[in-house]
Amino acid sequence: MSHYKPEEMAALSRYLKDANFPATRKSIMELAVENGAPERSLEALAKIPDRDYIHLDDVVEQVGSLHK
């Protein structure tokens, strides 16, 4: 998977805007599927650590760190 562009990170945030935090990776992925996230986003979410996320920014940061 290549580096995420800023507009892709913003789109990821929109797919997760209704998430109730703290949230697990599983619940985040389920919400992304419900909100129609593209396969690329789902693949990225599947690669983040399996833990509780306190805020949406935590999720976005983890996805961004996959490509550094």
- Of 5-9, 26-30, 63-67, the range with the highest mean pLDDT is 26-30
Confidence class of residue 2 from pLDDT cuts 50, 70 and 90?
Answer: low
Output the DSSP codes for 11-65: HHHHHTTTPPSSEEHHHHHHHHHHTT--HHHHHHHHHS-SSEESSHHHHHHHHHH
| Backbone angles phi and psi of 7, in degrees to 5 | -70, -30
pLDDT at 68 over 70: no
Tens of pLDDT, residues 8-46: 788 889 999 999 999 999 999 999 999 999 999 999 999
- Give the predicted TM-score (pTM) of the model: 0.85
Q: Quote the CA–CA distance of 35 and 45 in Å, as a whole number.
A: 14
pLDDT of res. 16: 95
Q: Quote the CA–CA distance of 49 and 9 in Å, as a whole number.
A: 17
